[in-house]
């Protein structure tokens, strides 16, 4: 089953997506997501100039060998660009292999471990009252788990909280915009938000919160401790995770569960966090962590230490990634939860999908492969538009790295 063609499809139906399409001599093809939010063209160049030409003539069934070739072949390995490109190739090959076997991808991985996949959605509000309304809306849609983000008094813009009723899209400008941040205002306010939510909705709703890497370890420890009475499902990305040891200090001071990993691209990024049991959920995504092949290794390693999966699933991951993630979620024994942000109708017009959402839970569908396809004619109607993520400065003008 030799590879005869491999190409990249770039489209922007409301936001940019990069899709890898690999075709074999048998006429079978598979697609994979290779979107790196805010840096999409860097992955396109890496794929078109270096990776895809080297795949022509190779056996598409040799997924592991191709993964090792793309990963170990370059002297400069890992990194978000290389691993996102590799993920696009890897998922496309798994799609082909499952189609050739005429079975849904989760069956090829070993069969399902659960009947349905619990997901969490986002409830964002500019103030507490708006946030309570957003939580109620999510609950009415059947979600048992909700990530809560709220505007902070005295801070003009909050990453993750749209303004003026607009849809949430973090990449908000052609070039990076600059926003202001105050740690003490945030720390003083957020516990009040969760106190109000628990007062309104009671103890049974699973509540999550994303810190977006903005605290020091001791600040994160304080927040985790102050949120303990509200029994969060997890506190996500409390600190910048390049230094895995920082989580040790947080862990020493709070029993609030910790989640991290959406910006990780290698098992080495999370090895110490997992084996030292410094986190409870690993949030690596199929598209940024080298595809299904490495995600399986990360999950198996995490299972040895009681760490569960909680894969990233924001709208900067295309429906192709979501489809692959749901097949992975259906199979993985140590599953925790799956993030879900609904794609717009415009995005759905470019991609067809077999996965289904009902009352807060997903199933991946029974179509051969991962069940997601791309309409290339429709995709061509939406050309690439550069969009950048915002940059944050502290109130004194210091550039805050997060």
Q: Residue with structure tokens 């600059």?
A: 178
Q: Which of 29, 71, 122, 212 is catalytic?
A: 212
d(CA 156, CA 168): 16
- DSSP structural state of residue 327: H
Round to whole Å and give the CA distance between 7 and 19: 8
Q: Taking a C-beta distance cutoff of 8 angstroms, is the pair 75, 275 a contact? A: no
CA distance 296 to 294: 5
Tokens 């999370």 -> residue: 270
Q: 213 vs 67, 227, 237, 241, CA distance in Å? A: 30, 17, 5, 8
Dig out the tokens for 43 from the structure: 């992955």
The active-site residue out of 50, 159, 168, 384 is 159
Q: Give the number of residues written for the chain.
A: 402
Interatomic CA distance for residues 102 and 92, integer angstroms: 15
Active site residue 343: no
- Known active-site residue 159: yes
Active site residues: 159, 212
């Amino acid at each position: 089953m030799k590879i005869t063609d491999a190409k990249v499809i770039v489209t922007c139906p409301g936001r940019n997506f990069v899709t890898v399409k690999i075709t074999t001599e048998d006429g079978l093809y598979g697609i994979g997501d290779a979107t790196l939010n805010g840096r999409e063209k860097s992955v396109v160049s890496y794929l078109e100039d270096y990776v895809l030409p080297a795949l022509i003539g190779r056996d598409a069934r040799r997924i592991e060998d191709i993964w090792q070739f793309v990963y170990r072949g370059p002297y400069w390995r890992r990194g978000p660009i290389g691993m996102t490109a590799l993920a696009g190739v890897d998922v496309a090959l798994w799609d082909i292999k499952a189609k050739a076997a005429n079975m849904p991808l989760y069956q090829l991985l070993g069969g399902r471990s659960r009947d349905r996949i619990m997901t969490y959605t986002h409830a964002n509000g500019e103030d507490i009252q708006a946030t309570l309304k957003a939580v109620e809306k999510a609950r009415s849609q059947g979600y048992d788990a909700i990530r809560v983000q709220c505007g902070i008094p005295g801070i003009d813009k909050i990453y993750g909280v749209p303004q003026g009723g607009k849809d949430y899209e973090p990449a908000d400008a052609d070039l990076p915009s600059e926003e202001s941040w105050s740690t003490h205002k945030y720390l003083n306010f957020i516990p009040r938000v969760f106190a109000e939510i628990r007062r309104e909705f009671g103890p049974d709703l699973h509540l999550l919160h994303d810190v977006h890497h903005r605290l020091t370890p001791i600040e994160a420890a304080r927040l985790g401790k102050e949120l303990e009475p509200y029994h969060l499902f997890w506190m996500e990305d409390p600190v910048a995770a390049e230094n895995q040891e920082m989580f040790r200090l947080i862990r020493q001071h709070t029993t609030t569960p910790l989640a991290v990993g959406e910006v990780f691209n290698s098992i080495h990024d999370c090895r110490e966090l997992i084996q030292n049991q410094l986190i409870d959920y690993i949030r690596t995504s199929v598209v940024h962590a080298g595809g299904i092949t490495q995600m399986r290794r990360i999950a198996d390693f995490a299972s040895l230490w009681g760490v569960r999966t909680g894969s990233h699933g924001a709208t900067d991951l295309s429906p192709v990634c979501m489809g692959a993630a749901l097949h992975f979620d259906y199979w993985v024994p140590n599953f925790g939860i799956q993030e879900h942000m609904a794609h717009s109708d415009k995005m759905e017009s470019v991609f067809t999908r077999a996965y289904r959402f009902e009352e807060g839970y997903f199933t991946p569908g029974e179509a051969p492969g991962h069940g997601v396809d791309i309409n290339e004619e429709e995709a061509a109607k939406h050309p690439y538009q550069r969009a950048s993520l915002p940059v944050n400065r502290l109130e004194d003008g210091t550039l805050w790295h997060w």
